Amino acid sequence: MLYLVPTPIGNLEDITLRALRVLKEVDCILAEDTRTTRKLLQHFGIETQLRSHHAHNEHASVTAIARQIQDGAVMALVSDAGTPGISDPGFLLVRECVRQGIRVECLPGPTAFVPALVASGLPCDRFHFEGFLPHKKGRQTRLQYLASLPNTFVLYESPMRLVKCLEQLSEHCGPDRPACVARELSKVHEEVKPDTLAGLAQYYKTEGVAKGEIVIVVAGNA
Ligand code: SAM
């Protein structure tokens, strides 16, 4: 069978007991970056064999991996941080396993968008997860679509593009739309900053480039 194993997005204490047991017991761990995962495994004294599985080789390797699982191998898939498949490799392998009737289990665990959404104070009973916006082609279309949504929506963004993204969201959704920037979740310098889109754009413009990893949460079109 195939396990999808979420790993910490910052604080190593967020790994679950079950994740540790599964990572110890499987025949092989498929990792987005074997160096990153090796450090995590070393920290927890886990010696399971690692194999590279990332966006650049997953198209070519899913069939072979699924065959090995069919032949009896038990494997775990991890990404660098958070839940595999969420803005990370995973979907193609899971789809292939599901097609072949292989049992797939995703362990519950760390992911960045849930704590950002819940801590934002914006309605979280219904929401849309956007992940990363396209950098160029299709960006305006996505922004227009997001601006029209009635529910809270969630974006992943890099620190370098944060101000530009907040300014574009402000143009499309209006400057007074409530929003929140969640930065460095579960880490020492965690910051959850609610404000309007214009207020947040102004704040991060004045502060200079925000450091670390970022989730943007925006209220729906009321
Ligand atoms: N698979 C991951 C998940 O389950 O959330 C997401 C991987 S995606 C490649 C990485 C993006 O997730 C970052 O650019 C950032 O937007 C967000 N992210 C990851 N860790 C974060 C953290 N500690 N605080 C805020 N955002 C984070």
pLDDT-derived band of residue 113, with 50, 70 and 90 as boundaries? very high
Domain boundary among 83, 106, 129: 106
Domain that holds residue 30: 2-106
**Most informative mutation of 80, 214, 216 for ligand 1 (most atoms within 8 A of CB):** 214
d(CA 166, CA 204): 9
Give the binding-site residues of ligand 1, using a 6 Å CB cut-off: 9-10, 79, 81-83, 86-88, 111-113, 156-158, 182-187, 213-215
Poorest-pLDDT segment among 43-47, 52-56, 124-128, 156-160: 52-56
Residues 71 and 127 in one domain: no
Residues 137 and 94 in one domain: no
Domain boundary among 41, 75, 106: 106
Beta bridge partners of 217: 154, 180
**For residue 54, pLDDT beyond 90:** no
SS3 call for 149: coil
Structurally, the chain folds into a number of domains equal to 2
pLDDT digits (tens, 9 = 90+) for 62-93: 999 999 999 999 999 999 999 999 999 999 99
Give whole-number Cα distances, 88 to 145, 162, 191, in Å. Answer: 23, 20, 23
